Amino acid sequence: MHGLELSGVSKRFTTRSGVVHALDDFTLAVEDGEFVAVLGPSGCGKSTALRIAAGLDTADSGTVTVAGDSPERLVASGGLGVAFQDNALLPWLSVRANVELPYKLAGRPVDRARVDSLIALVGLADFGGAKPAQLSGGMRQRVSIARSLVLSPRVLLLDEPFGALDAVTRHRLNVELGRILDEERSTSLLVTHSVEEAVFLADRVVVMTGRPGRVKLDVAVPFGRGRSKSVLQDPAFLSLVGELTAALDADDSETGSGAGPGTSSAGTAA
């Protein structure tokens, strides 16, 4: 069963300078419980695809099903979790109150045990009463991840959740995110500019073409779950990172999209 499926999706945007064709016949299926990462040059439409999967944008053509239903219905039932690069925490609420927020928006009673267990799972057990301004950027992103998981979503969508963090913090949170998602077992789709992040976290990596975005390459990652930092030095890991980086670089030279060799770095992407 597909946890998430976009089939033949196309999307255009009208701007002051004309029509932008973001996606064209974009097709991607993520199996139930699978973690798929999507890479692509800047502006290729990968975030647009994720927003369509989240029900935040609509496709001009094609079909979208998430856990066998429409994105809108899954959002309404609390079955879809989303975390963005901008953590979007409410600054006047504590960590605990921010994590509780999805219950209140869904009109459901707060499961305090679930909230406390997730705050502990992301390593913030001592910060439940802290406000976002008292936390580091990495800690705020952990709160955002906890909030996205609190309703036990069947599908989790991640759009560059660590893109604004420094490389050391990003690598550390990659390890933690892998551990968290091993426990939660949600179907997960990650959009990222970092090749290393994609290969470290995902069961499968999809590379998109330049705009309009289509699937260019679909590669299985030959490592099991529960990966440690040691895998970053594994020759098979380095080989796959090189293969995917070459695929991205080749697309850059063909399309002139401007996402050069630095696409594979763990730093902030443009």
What mean pLDDT, rounded, does the chain reach? 86
The CB-side HSE value for 265 (13 A sphere, CA atoms) comes to 13
Residues 233 and 172 reside in one and the same domain: yes
Tokens of 106: 């869904």
For the segment 118-131, the average pLDDT, to the nearest whole number, is 92
Distances (CA, A) of 111 to 10, 120, 151, 169, 178: 39, 14, 9, 30, 24
184: domain CATH number is 3.40.50.300
Task: Give the mean pLDDT of 80-105.
Answer: 90
Residue type, 141: Q
Tell me how far apart the alpha carbons of residues 14 and 7 are, in angstroms, rounded to a whole number: 23
Reported confidence tier of residue 78, pLDDT bands at 50, 70, 90: confident
pLDDT on residue 165: 76
Sequence-distant (6+) residues with CB within 8 A of 168 are none
Total-model pTM: 0.85
Residue 160 near residue 192 (C-beta atoms within 8 A): yes
What's the whole-number mean pLDDT along residues 103-110? 89
The pLDDT of residue 251 is 62
Question: What's residue 112's pLDDT?
Answer: 94
Same-domain check for residues 241 and 157? yes
User: Does residue 163 share a domain with residue 255?
Assistant: yes
Q: Summarize pLDDT for 27-37 with one digit per residue, the tens.
A: 999 999 899 99
Per the model's pLDDT, the better-predicted residue between 264 and 138 turns out to be 138
Q: Residue 204 belongs to what domain range?
A: 2-79+153-264
Q: Which residue matches tokens 């959009």?
A: 191
Q: What is the pLDDT of residues 181-233, one digit of tens each?
A: 888 788 999 999 899 999 999 999 999 999 899 999 999 999 988 888 889 89
Average pLDDT over residues 24-45: 92
Asked if 237 and 166 sit in the same domain, the reply is yes
- Is there a single domain that holds both residue 58 and residue 68? yes
Phi, psi of 36 (to 5 degrees): -115, 135
Same domain, 98 and 88: yes
Structural domain count, the chain: 2
In this structure, the answer to whether residues 239 and 253 fall within a common structural domain is yes
Rg (alpha carbons) of the chain, rounded to whole number: 18
pLDDT attached to residue 256: 46
What percent of the chain shows pLDDT beyond 70?
A: 92
Tell me if 269 is assigned to some domain: no
Query: Within a 13 Å sphere around the CA of 26, how many CA atoms are in the beta-carbon half?
Result: 34
Which stretches does DSSP call E strand in the chain?
A: 2-15, 18-31, 35-39, 61-66, 80-84, 155-159, 187-191, 204-208, 215-220
**Domain co-membership, 112 together with 163:** no
Q: Is 72 exposed, middle or buried (0-12, 13-18, 19+ CB in 10 A)?
A: middle
Question: What is the separation of C-alpha 119 from the centre of its chain, rounded to a whole number of angstroms?
Answer: 20
The residue ranking higher by pLDDT, 121 or 262, is 121
The pLDDT > 90 percentage for the chain reads 49
